[in-house]
Structure 1
């Protein structure tokens, strides 16, 4: 990828993709073109059968400072039908990131503002560097926090009350408070991207189909209305897992006291 790309993809270890927002001079703010590029990258990664995990981060001192002023400045002046189309266009990359079939880890290296929170929330796992901060400034600029998935994902991450206080006040959370509330899995003392890549490599060492089925079950059961319905979904996924060669290989490796060699079959 060219260094001028606003979204750069590298492969720090086998089966792991590192996606980096690459506009550090503007704290990785998101133009419409960057949003389109992020969506395309997410779709390409989802189609990659060799992929095992994804890490998303920002270059420089920020994770993502939200929508670029070139986007924000046009919002109130557009005709309503056009604005709805732009809103639908803007949310697609976040949905695409969330829909990637393998685990996605957000390495939040600095401020995640507005749409930056949305991107972090689209990941399955969030690690925070000591400089991370989550800024929900929607209401401070006259916008709703019902934006880019925040109103659905944030209460599920930290609970309704904490989410309500954060978005109604337009406030922010530092790394420590984010970890206390459960917005991030943990705060990393050191290189958060390296820690995220190491975590991704640990995930990549497991059975690919088992990890995919686990992600599918966790996501689906956020929306299933009953325990009984969740068990039904789990039963079917577990039976599929037992049909794989990887499951047989894992049992053989355990008996033979060796590392399993998974082939995603």
Structure 2
């Protein structure tokens, strides 16, 4: 299956620069609210993009004024009718979508252009890097509607980004976090100037693309894996294997030659 085979109704895919895919949540009239269809399309898109050898960076953003307002309230009215197993099926479909995004082998950047609420916050957290527009807000609204922050990976990811005490305060109160605070506490990597979000994201993507494809991918794999391993020894073992593999590639001797010759390396991902 390729992207051309997919019939997106809730997403839009484009290529704003060479080797960069831009995946846009495309329900601006509903502030890009999530639906079961969107969960399915997110999983499909991430899975297919992950097989694209030319892809070096994936950017996710929202159409219009919002990044993603969370689960669509029009769909939420149907939830009580699903029953326990039906609700579990929906929850697992959503979780698979988040995991597929997180597991894309190249760096994923969330360009947070507006409110990221509930499941929208969860989606932003799946990215490796978050860049925010001044109008971005982060809304852990789960407790406001009788649900838990333990949703779509938020309870695991948020404390690792901003620390357990600060994550607890935000999660228990369900308060909004504006873009300036998000940058200050490390929820986002950087805050863009008005109108400069996509330019800043693409400039960051270019810096990533200038490096060895294999090195970047195994760096991401090591970071993700070492967030979960239980010991320093296990982390070292993982790192040792990654470095051993990378010294077998053609890109490493090219990088060394370029350094000696004081030129820019030409990486081929081989």
Question: How does the TM-score come out when normalised to structure 1?
Answer: 0.96
Once the two structures are superposed, residues 139-182 of structure 1 have per-residue CA deviations (whole angstroms, 9 ceiling, x without a partner) of 11111111111111111111111111111111110001111111
Structure 1 position 75, deviation (Å): 2.1
- Which residue, out of 34, 56, 59, partners 1:55? 59
Could you list the runs of 5+ residues in structure 2 that have no partner in the other structure?
none
Of 210, 217, 221 in structure 2, the residue corresponding to residue 216 of structure 1 is: 221
The match for 2:46 is: 42
Q: Deviations over 1:49-85 (max 9, x none)?
A: 1110111000111100001123321223321111111
Deviations 1:198-221 (A, max 9, x none): 211211121100000100000000
Of 138, 155, 160, the residue aligned with 1:134 is 138
Alignment of 1:156-195 (within 5 A): 156-190=160-194, 191-195=196-200
Check conservation: 2:8, 2:41, Cα contact below 8 A. Answer: no
Which of residues 137, 152, 159 is equivalent to 2:156? 152
Deviation, 1:4, is 7.8
Take 1:152 and 1:3, find their aligned partners in 2: how far apart are those partners?
32
CA distance in structure 2 between the partners assigned to 1:219 and 1:250 by the alignment: 25
Q: 1:3: Cα distance to partner?
A: 11
Q: Tell me whether 1:90 sits opposite 2:91 in the alignment.
A: no
How many equivalent pairs are there? 265
**Unaligned residue ranges in structure 1 (runs of 5+):** none
Maintained 8 Å contact 1:7/1:20: yes
Report Cα offsets for 1:207-242 as digits up to 9, x if no partner.
100000100000000011222221121111111111
Within 2, Cα distance between the matches of 1:54 and 1:108?
14
**Partner in structure 1 of residue 70 of structure 2:** 66
Distance in 2 (CA, whole Å) between partners of 1:109 and 1:153 is 20
In structure 2, what is the Cα distance between the partners aligned to 1:262 and 1:78?
A: 51
Q: Partners of 2:10 and 2:84 in 1: how far apart? A: 29
2:103 equivalent in structure 1 = 99
C-alpha RMSD of the superposition: 1.5
Conserved 8 A contact 1:57-1:193: no
Structure 1 CA distance for aligned equivalents of residues 13 and 42 of structure 2: 10
Counterparts of 2:127 and 2:229, CA distance in 1: 20
Q: Secondary structure at the match of 1:88?
A: helix
Is residue 2:209 matched to residue 1:204? yes
